[in-house]
Amino acid sequence: MTITRFEPGKRLAAAVRHNDTLYIAGQVADTETGSVEVQTREVLAKIDALLTKAGTDKSRLLSMNVYLASIGDFAAMNAAFDAWVDTANLPTRATVEARLASPDLRVEITAIAAMPE
């Protein structure tokens, strides 16, 4: 069994690889004052960076969960998501409205990806 932790912090690792699967913790924007589109693009860039650091990429995403502070931001979040996602290799996805850790955060995203063989 192989477990590798990426960017471990005080309470959690940003990502954990277990054998051939990468689990990415909830990612939020550093720019808390940005629109949901700006925050979504920033979060997806963080996910890209973690995928790269672990040795995989978004074409191997299996599943994603999107948490929105307001479901009214669904269309705007999707505009950023649709420009980013690999349409030839779509992951499963759920989107829910949730109270996030800071009132300025508009979106948080988790992901699970496969590692290359």
As a whole number of angstroms, the distance between CA 102 and CA 1 comes to 36
pLDDT of residue 68: 98
Q: List, for residues 54-110, the tens digit of each pLDDT value.
A: 999 999 999 999 999 999 999 999 999 999 999 999 999 999 999 999 999 999 999
Average pLDDT score over residue span 36-52: 98
CB atoms < 10 A from the CB of 31, how many?
12
pLDDT computed for residue 117 by the predictor: 82
Q: Say if residue 112's pLDDT is above 90.
A: yes
Sequence-ordered strand ranges (E) for the chain? 3-8, 13-18, 21-28, 61-68, 92-97, 107-114
Full-model pTM: 0.96
Extents of the domains making up the chain? 3-114
Q: Do the Cβ atoms of 88 and 55 come closer than 8 Å? A: no
Tell me how far apart the terminal alpha carbons of the chain are, to the nearest angstrom: 16
pLDDT at residue 1 is higher than 90:
no
Average pLDDT across the chain, whole number = 97
CATH of domain 3-114: 3.30.1330.40
Residue 55 confidence (pLDDT): 97
**Cα–Cα distance between 83 and 42 in angstroms, integer?**
13
